[in-house]
Structure 1
Amino acid sequence: MFTYKVGISAKEHDDFAKASNQTNLLQSSAWAQVKDNWSNERLGFYKDDVQIASASILIKRLPLGMTMLYIPRGPVMDYQDQEVVDFVIKSLKKYGKSKHALFIKFDPALLLKAYKTGQEVEENPETLAALDNLKKAGTEWTGRTMEIAESIQPRFQANVYTQEDMTATFPKHTKRLMKDANNRGVVTTRGSIDDVQAFADVVALTENRKGVALRNHDYFKKMMSIYGDDAYLHLAKVNLPKRLAEYQEQLAQIEKDLAETADHQKKRLTKLTQQQTSVQKYIKEFEEFVDKYDDELIIAGILSVRFGNVMEMLYAGMNDEFKKFYPQYSLYPKVFEDAYADGIIWANMGGVEGSLDDGLTKFKSNFNPTIEEFIGEFNIPVSLLYKPAMLAYNLRKKSRSKH
């Protein structure tokens, strides 16, 4: 006996999603509060009164009283069970009709592949079976898209699985850059809602540099308020005058050591001279910054949110004037370290292009992520106007990706 219920509680939905192997922030009930330019409804699906599936649905109002429904990284269900898949898709279509939906779009948290950069692996047979089941249930698959712009959620992502000593898994050059950040006095700590403005400021600098629109102070504050302790704001700071004073002390000591070193101690003289040159370079760099900036300055940040035992690293920003301080190499390891300490099994660094040759992939590969390839998007036709609606949707998506 299959049944479904509209308007289940946030707790019932979240508990089911967290207990599944498809846990994802975008299926958390609170995500709908973040995406408050959409309406939301939660549906529970049952077999003999036992919950077998759940879906948090975003509802976009369209002209003429029509809607589009979207289920990000859902619905959460057993995609291997054809009976369950058939019932859920049929019920979603029925619900879609009640909302005058043209179509329902969804992208389940099912992986076709997971591999380290350079590895060759086969597609997951269970996911291919799920694909067949979804097709049999009457959905339309958009296929193995390769570009981020081709789907609402990226089909490829760089995901770091946490462990006790994360840095041991990083490449040598990453460890070197972590050391460089430390040498320049970069320190990463977890911030609070009071630090949102400083974070928004570095994100705005990133927007200007890359010519992209991310989010503003109000959006970040809303996210921090909604998720509370599950929102992680990590900030990379540097105390410029303090670090300058430390360099000046180092230089004084080096010059004292040089003065006390005999001419025949060639190796020691060479080493001290190299240190002197290096510290003098740092002093010159820091003197310019101290004239321009406050004592302690936030130069980069990352806002992440956990749901259950997983985490999405959603927004990042950096003051490009401090790119030689390599703050990301202080920030990212700290996020992974804190995530592991809090029982989080993975921290998703976000989407990459399927070609894996873009700048994002190259940067993210510094942290030894697993590249995960999702199954992609599906459409459930609801209205007789489905085909022209999809044509209009795809044309709009194409024009937006060009800007």
Structure 2
Amino acid sequence: MQFVNITPEEFAEFTHNNFSHYTQTRVNYEAQDQSDAHLLGVKNKNGEIIAAGMFTEARALKFFKYFYSQRGPVLDYNNIALVNFYFKSLTSYLKKHNCLYVLLDPYILENLRNADGEIIKSYDNRMLISTLDQLGYKHQGYPAGYSKTSQIRWLSVLDLKNKTEQQLLKEMDYQTRRNIKRTEEMGVKVTTLPIEETERFFKLFKMAEEKHGFSFRDEPYFEELQKAYKGYASLQLAYIDLNEYIASLKEKHNTLNKQLLEVETALTESPNSKKQKTKHTQLTQQINSAQRKIDDTAATIATDGSILDLAAAIYIYNDYEVYYLSSGSNPNYNAYMGAYKLQWEMIKFAKRHNIDRYNFYGITGDFSEDAEDYGVQQFKKGFNADVEEYIGDFVKPIKPLVYNIGKLIGKL
């Protein structure tokens, strides 16, 4: 085996043929400053690539470098001989590049859980962790919650493989299925925003930040993300045209009134008909409900205009997954349930592109009702998504003495 720098073409082919995260793709490599990105692979005796990973470097303690492979490298982690060779070789490579320490968070499952946190399947990673430990790559444990220094360990993922749209709907929670149907009845639509309209997304995203009390990224970050991923990233907006909606409500109102006249005629002929009396009550209630919606919609048009931006999200996809990364919605328009329409349309997008996984992305891993993201978890649970718990971080100091001093003085 040979540990070598590989070309972007070789990296693209390998990650196309081997399950990988969107951060381990040629598209992401080309988005980096080429002087700070390293494509490191292993070739067998036939010259075939059997392992590959992208590592990025950054300054650490002014005079050194920190290396990171986000959700990588990509290789068969059950092949301990390959693991041993790759990471031993990696250490030698990093020593030649003035590396202080390296961080990895491989895309390796620790547990598959249901949406309530109960383990469905466990993966025995003890041999891998032991092997990496012997090579100096120390496992950082199994934290829950959000972190500013680590990738989220808990992801909510919907398996789409070999399932039709009808089957996916059927397997969703009743209320989720009903909400999706209601968005279609109301005429909620989803459109792709051009990069020039990133502000429409960001306005909704800021509402989510304010609601949950966090600050994540500024607007230019999302513009750069779209540029970097060259068509593999997009902003999706759920919106409603209230003029169209109120027209459909009026049409429904007229139809109900015609039906009511027919029932009243029937009651004139048979005043004691229990069936017609029940119909009369039901139709009267439906007419009143439709009229209230017409009045409410007209009032909203008068104050907010006819086009309402309901919810928006930024998505990235590769050969294996559609990733739902960041989103926001206007809480004043929750009744239109734009977030449900958004998810359903992108699930259908994944099916059209033969992508088998719809990744709702991070949750805290706290499954109690007191969890800070309990509402988010329940939303994702409604779509029948399972929870994937990943192995977590590994850190290796390449210059242990300087690394420990840096940790001690709080500079790392």
What's the TM-score, normalizing by structure 1? 0.88
Mapped partners of 1:35, 1:155: distance in 2: 24
Mapped partners of 2:31, 2:203: distance in 1: 20
**Match of 2:95, as an amino acid?**
K
TM-aligned CA deviation for residue 38 of structure 1: 10
From the superposition, tell whether residues 268 and 121 of structure 1 become closer, same or farther in structure 2 (CA, over 3 Å): closer
Return the match for 1:361 from 377, 381, 391: 377
The structure number with the bigger radius of gyration is 2
Aligned to 2:21: 24
Mapped partners of 1:150, 1:197: distance in 2: 25
Secondary structure at the aligned position of 2:120 is classed as coil
Asked whether the 8 Å contact 1:238–1:298 carries over to 2, the reply is yes
TM-aligned CA deviation for residue 242 of structure 1: 1.8
Return the match for 1:73 from 71, 74, 79: 71
Secondary structure at the aligned position of 2:263 is classed as coil
**Can you list the C-alpha shifts for 1:243-282, whole angstroms capped at 9, x where unaligned?**
1222233224434443453254211111112212321232
Return the match for 1:115 from 110, 113, 117: 113
Aligned to 2:238: 236
Aligned to 1:204: 206
Asked whether the 8 Å contact 2:238–2:341 carries over to 1, the reply is yes
Mapped partners of 1:274, 1:34: distance in 2: 58
Mapped partners of 1:26, 1:128: distance in 2: 26
**Can you list the C-alpha shifts for 1:275-319, whole angstroms capped at 9, x where unaligned?**
123212322321222113343333212221112222221121212
**Match of 1:300, as an amino acid?**
A
What's the TM-score, normalizing by structure 2? 0.86
Mapped partners of 1:38, 1:98: distance in 2: 15
**Can you list the C-alpha shifts for 1:11-52, whole angstroms capped at 9, x where unaligned?**
21122122123x110112333555669932222222333322
Aligned to 1:400: none
Aligned to 2:344: 333
Asked whether the 8 Å contact 1:112–1:128 carries over to 2, the reply is no
Mapped partners of 2:35, 2:355: distance in 1: 29
What is the 5 A alignment of 1:1-80?
2-6=1-5, 8-21=6-19, 23-32=20-29, 39-48=36-45, 49-80=47-78
1:314 aligns with 2:325: yes
**RMSD (Å), alpha carbons:** 2.5
**Match of 1:116, as an amino acid?**
N
Asked whether the 8 Å contact 1:32–1:38 carries over to 2, the reply is no
Secondary structure at the aligned position of 1:379 is classed as strand
**Can you list the C-alpha shifts for 1:317-373, whole angstroms capped at 9, x where unaligned?**
212211111111111111111101101110211111122233222221111112101
Of all paired residues, the percent bearing the same amino acid is 24
Asked whether the 8 Å contact 2:61–2:406 carries over to 1, the reply is no
TM-aligned CA deviation for residue 225 of structure 1: 2.7
Aligned to 1:182: 184
1:348 aligns with 2:359: yes
What is the 5 A alignment of 1:209-288?
209-262=211-264, 263=267, 264=271, 265-288=276-299
From the superposition, tell whether residues 140 and 17 of structure 1 become closer, same or farther in structure 2 (CA, over 3 Å): same
1:305 aligns with 2:307: no
Aligned to 2:164: 164
Secondary structure at the aligned position of 1:220 is classed as helix
Mapped partners of 1:392, 1:171: distance in 2: 51
Mapped partners of 1:17, 1:254: distance in 2: 57
Asked whether the 8 Å contact 2:310–2:336 carries over to 1, the reply is no
Return the match for 2:127 from 118, 126, 129: 129
**Match of 1:131, as an amino acid?**
I
**Can you list the C-alpha shifts for 1:163-221, whole angstroms capped at 9, x where unaligned?**
32221210111111112322332122444445433222322332233332233443333
From the superposition, tell whether residues 322 and 380 of structure 1 become closer, same or farther in structure 2 (CA, over 3 Å): same
Secondary structure at the aligned position of 1:52 is classed as strand
From the superposition, tell whether residues 90 and 225 of structure 1 become closer, same or farther in structure 2 (CA, over 3 Å): same
Secondary structure at the aligned position of 1:148 is classed as coil
Aligned to 1:376: 392
Asked whether the 8 Å contact 1:167–1:333 carries over to 2, the reply is no
Mapped partners of 2:408, 2:382: distance in 1: 40
From the superposition, tell whether residues 38 and 392 of structure 1 become closer, same or farther in structure 2 (CA, over 3 Å): farther
Asked whether the 8 Å contact 1:309–1:345 carries over to 2, the reply is yes
Asked whether the 8 Å contact 1:55–1:76 carries over to 2, the reply is yes
From the superposition, tell whether residues 257 and 296 of structure 1 become closer, same or farther in structure 2 (CA, over 3 Å): same
What is the 5 A alignment of 1:82-161?
82-118=80-116, 119-125=118-124, 127-149=125-147, 152-161=150-159
